[in-house]
Amino acid sequence: MSVTDAQLAEIEHLRGDAAPTRRATVPDLEALLYQPLPVLDHGFVRVIDYMGNDAAVVQAARVSYGRGTRQVSEDAGLIRYLMRHRHSTPFEMCELKLHVKLPIFVARQWIRHRTANVNEYSARYSVLDREFYLPAPEHLGVQADSNRQGRGAALGPAEAARVLDILRRDAETAYSHYEELLNRRDDGSIVDPERPGLARELARINLSLSYYTQWYWKIDLNNLLHFLSLRADSHAQYEIRAYAGVILDVVARWVPLVFSAFQEYRLGGIHLSATGVGVIRRLLAGEAVTLETSNLGRREWQELMTVLGCDHDRNAG
């Protein structure tokens, strides 16, 4: 993770500048405010602001004035009911604002979630830092045979070293040319006063997707949970999954009752089709159900058998 001295000084200033408020706060999340939580080699996630807590979800569901004499167990039960039955509106009453530093290729996956407010660092206005993502050797995998958009087994040590060398050299060369086009050095000084620098909006086009960008990202809790259900999943690309893992920890601190329900019904649960439910009922009744008699497609059958702990290559029953 790369944070400059100036950024560290700003973080210390923000963390030391407390403001009184009458709104609900969460001590565990307050302790994280503004701190960069490292992700990958140069990235981070920072909590900048938030609105609401577990009680805000309950309050919205009941449309009440406050907690009254309710017990935490009652709130937990209601939140679990809301999560279980996909009553999403009360979760929209809470919001989280993050500052994220991430590789451009991760940002392009992330931005597909169009339910957030985003303001990204502008390379038309400012100069990008000389920071690019290099995967750890164990994350350099071959193209997966069964997944057209995923990776398979890790490369051997020699091949991984060769790939990393190519990635590093290409990224460094691209940045050197970027500076040459801008006619500037790392410290911002002009290289040749007689030569005009290319416009920043054009000089940037030769940089690779491995370079880091930054943005402020604000989203309500309901849409954040949807983002996490997809990006924290084992099928997601490792790099965006690394960010999702850090944000999961933030959510656990912010709204622990919601997080517990989310783990139970979304992360650890499954969604079954009507036909899938029918297969389970038939199995419970003692029927020997096979792929051919299940009325499921092969992939859905395999997924169901995996969840049930059955060998999907053999007849079930």
Quick check: 246 and 224 in contact, CB under 8 A? no
Report the candidate in 57, 79, 80, 59 with the shortest Cα–Cα distance to residue 68: 59
Task: Give the C-alpha separation, 181 to 191, whole Å.
Answer: 10
What are the CA-CA distances from residue 300 to residues 280, 295, 307 (Å)?
Answer: 13, 10, 11
Annotated active-site residue in 231, 253, 266, 281: 231
Task: Give the C-alpha separation, 235 to 257, whole Å.
Answer: 26
231 a catalytic residue: yes
Query: Of all residues in the chain, what percent are helix, strand and coil, respectively (each to 5)?
Result: 50, 15, 40
With 0-12 / 13-18 / 19 or more C-beta atoms within 10 angstroms meaning exposed / middle / buried, residue 156 is exposed
> For residue 101, what are the β-bridge partners?
44, 214
- Active-site amino acid positions: 231
